[in-house]
Amino acid sequence: LLPALLAAAIIAYLALMPLLAVLRAPEWLTSIAALFLAAGLWFFFSFVALLLYSWFYRLLPRNRHYDYIIIHGAGLNGKKPTPLLRGRLDKALQLWEKQGRKPLLITSGGQGADEEISEADAMHDYLVNEQQVPESSILKEDRSTTTLENLQYSKSLMDEHSGASTYRCALVTSDYHVFRAAEYAHKAGLNADGIGSHTRGYYWPTAFIREFIAISMAHKWPYIVIAGFWALSAAVELFKYFIH
């Protein structure tokens, strides 16, 4: 549904001004349409920018040493990780192997209202029982319900385990989710790099659109600025009208 709605929005955006011209819409309606066109221009620009960022960020080389690898939860099938979550786990394992099995893996995710166990427990069981990762290489963070809490609670674990805050960690999540995870990591005060796991093609468009909406909701100021300039322009035109 989300990709279909985005396609409809693009068509409406392109057709809006020509349609108003054909209908000879009043000036006030054209002015309101101009506001939507300006906001839409920023919307589509930022959408393409995030799309390119998400695509290229996962291609950047990662040659740093990590002390911890945080794996973000992503829902369960019963007591098993979903395919999306297994992708994150397998990506974390690849990094862990590349780092000589030295970093500690942090399975991060609480128990949702519709879940039988916490995501942290399900990830832990997958790593230990199916991938033969030693128990001593895993820390569990099983309280979080949001991306920001994933990082805040994981930071508490790492601070307690390290006894200091000079460590570096990797955040392993789906490629479309890396930007927001990295942004929240900065907010949480973590020295971290985002590592994106591959997302299946059929799921990627919907997941990316949802992610973009979440990021846009957290960064409303460009739309507020655009609306402010429009309101100022409208006020000036209204003042000129009354003066004449």
Q: Is 85 exposed, middle or buried (0-12, 13-18, 19+ CB in 10 A)?
A: buried
Rounded CA separation 67/191 (Å) = 11
Strand boundaries in the chain, DSSP class E: 68-72, 76-77, 80-81, 104-108, 138-141, 169-174, 192-197
Token representation of residue 51: 């799309």
Token representation of residue 167: 């460590």
Q: Per-residue pLDDT tens for 145-194?
A: 999 999 999 999 999 988 776 899 999 999 888 888 988 999 999 999 98
> Tokens 């929240």 — which residue?
184
Rounded CA separation 234/240 (Å) = 10
Q: What is the pLDDT of residue 46?
A: 92
CATH of domain 68-199: 3.40.50.620
3-state secondary structure (DSSP) of residue 131: coil
Rounded CA separation 109/146 (Å) = 8
**Model's pTM, two decimal places?**
0.81
Q: What is the DSSP letter of 25?
A: -
Closest Cα to residue 192, out of 152, 137, 145? 152
Write out residues in the chain with pLDDT < 50, as ranges: none
Q: Per-residue pLDDT tens for 225-239?
A: 999 998 998 888 777
Angle at 46 between CA 43 and CA 51, to 5 degrees: 120
Closest Cα to residue 101, out of 92, 109, 110? 92
